[in-house]
Amino acid sequence: MIRKATKDDFKVLDGLFEFIKSLEIDILKDYSEEKVLKILKYVFLSEYDRFSYKNCTVFESNGEIKGFSFTYHYDEVKKMKEFWYDEVVSNFNLKKDSMIFDYDEVLVGEFYLDTLFVFSHARGEGIGNKLLTEFVKSGYPKLSLNVAQSNDRARKLYESYGFRKNCEIFIGHENYDHLIRKN
């Protein structure tokens, strides 16, 4: 079943942390894994961060979360940046320029698929497709996502849903293609 996340869906944080580690995000070089996990829990429970439970959709089967996605609209970016830099950075005593991901991943007018993650034991069950279908059915006129230029398998999946390359974006340590789909 696909549903909106609740504040109790902490299993999402395990996957989100695994995803962040796989990308070798700079915040992991500056702070302990324990501190980053505390930050993720804090922002998940918040109302305003990109990784808030409010922006999360989960795929659950037999009471187990097997995958999730985070989505948000460009119009929320200013509020999310302010929350991160005004509240998270100060509450966790982070360096002023610390962040998990850059906020320039989404462009004006877009509803953005920030993260789509399926736990390794559940891969191959079509969960990613179901979460992507849910995103496409959201009803927004302009959908977007980023795919690593090295990830041909994901690109083919996104293209099969009507996403097309719009531009290139540098995120973390890698070049990404910014794909859009107009409904």
Give me 155's structure tokens: 């690109």
Output the pTM of the full model. Answer: 0.93
pLDDT digits (tens, 9 = 90+) for 18-46: 988 887 777 888 899 999 999 999 999 99
pLDDT at 99: 82
Average of per-residue pLDDT across 5-26: 91
Report the CATH number that the domain containing residue 109 is assigned in CATH: 3.40.630.30
H or E segment and range at residue 69: strand 64-73
150-103-76 Cα angle (round to 5): 125
Residue 61's domain spans which residues? Answer: 2-182
In total, how many domains does the chain have?
Answer: 1
Average of per-residue pLDDT across 134-159: 94
Q: Which residues of 97-124 are buried (b: 16+ CB within 10 A; e: fewer)?
A: ebbbbeeebbbeebbbbbbbbbbeebee
pLDDT digits (tens, 9 = 90+) for 71-97: 999 999 999 999 999 999 999 999 888
Q: Worst-scoring range by mean pLDDT, 50-54, 104-108, 141-145? A: 104-108
The Cα 124–Cα 30 span in angstroms is 35
The Cα 83–Cα 79 span in angstroms is 6
Residue 139 φ/ψ region, left for φ over 0, alpha for ψ in the -120 to 50 degree band, beta for the rest: left
42 Cα distance to chain centroid: 16
